[in-house]
A and B are shown apart, each in its own frame.
Chain A
């Protein structure tokens, strides 16, 4: 089986840093994806981690610990346009988490 757990909602202030956690249990594993989805739009790719550690891409970073079944997405210097849902998706059965809805306030 495969279980994915993310917080349902988070709020933060413009310019701040926010960390979105994802824990998972999966029978097979070949990496973990993070996608961003703005309201009413399609998901878009943010990051992919296959090895343990931190992957940095501009304002966004993603961390993976395979032994702990844990990942997080770190968003720095938050902007209003970062208000969206963030979906965690460990590979294996193409199952996505229900997503974390992030609201950024001025």
Chain B
């Protein structure tokens, strides 16, 4: 692993199903973030974690949950997917807080039908 990875690359999901998007980084960064990107709306922060064991809500957290059991992994879970959650999801990490450069994963394209 080099940098930050996400899985799956893309997914089509039926509404009401549960889905976990995976994110792993090997840079030993303290902070990690989940964004969604929709046409015309830009990147919007869903949840973040400043360090292992802590998480916080971003701009659009409803319908999503996260956990940060260790430094490397930051999964995003949709408990019951809805069509409005169709989007491209980016995971990112930074060495420290939001004042540091963020490194982004390649993204997961999620379609909820």
User: Which A residues are closer than 8 A to B by beta carbons?
Assistant: 30-31, 33, 35, 41-45, 48, 50, 87, 91-99
Q: Is the CB of A48 within 8 A of B106?
A: no
Choose from A42, A50, A91 the contact partner of B105 (Cβ within 8 Å): A42
B41:A94 contact, CB within 8 angstroms: no
- A30-B99, A31-B99, A42-B90 given; A94·B104 CB < 8 A: no
Spell out B's residues near A (CB within 8 Å). Answer: 33, 35, 40-45, 48, 58-59, 90, 98-99, 101-107
With A and B bound together, what is the CA distance between A10 and B107 in angstroms? 25
Q: Is the CB of A94 within 8 A of B42?
A: no
Contact across chains for A43 and B90 when beta carbons are under 8 A apart:
yes
Of A33, A35, A42, A94, which one neighbours B58 at CB under 8 angstroms? Answer: A94
- Residues of B near A48 (CB, < 8 A) are 101
Would you call B59 and A95 a contact (CB within 8 A)? Answer: yes
How far apart sit A97 and B41, CA to CA, in the bound complex (Å)?
Answer: 8
Task: State whether A98 and B41 are in contact (beta carbons under 8 Å apart), knowing that A30-B99, A31-B99, A92-B98 are contacts in the complex.
Answer: yes
A66 to chain B: closest CB distance in Å? 14
Within 8 Å CB of A33, what residues of B?
101-102
Residue picked from B43, B44, B103, most chain A C-beta under 10 Å = B43
Min Cβ gap B89→A in Å is: 11
Which partner residue on chain A sits nearest B41 by CB separation? Answer: A98
- CB-nearest residue of chain B relative to A88? B42
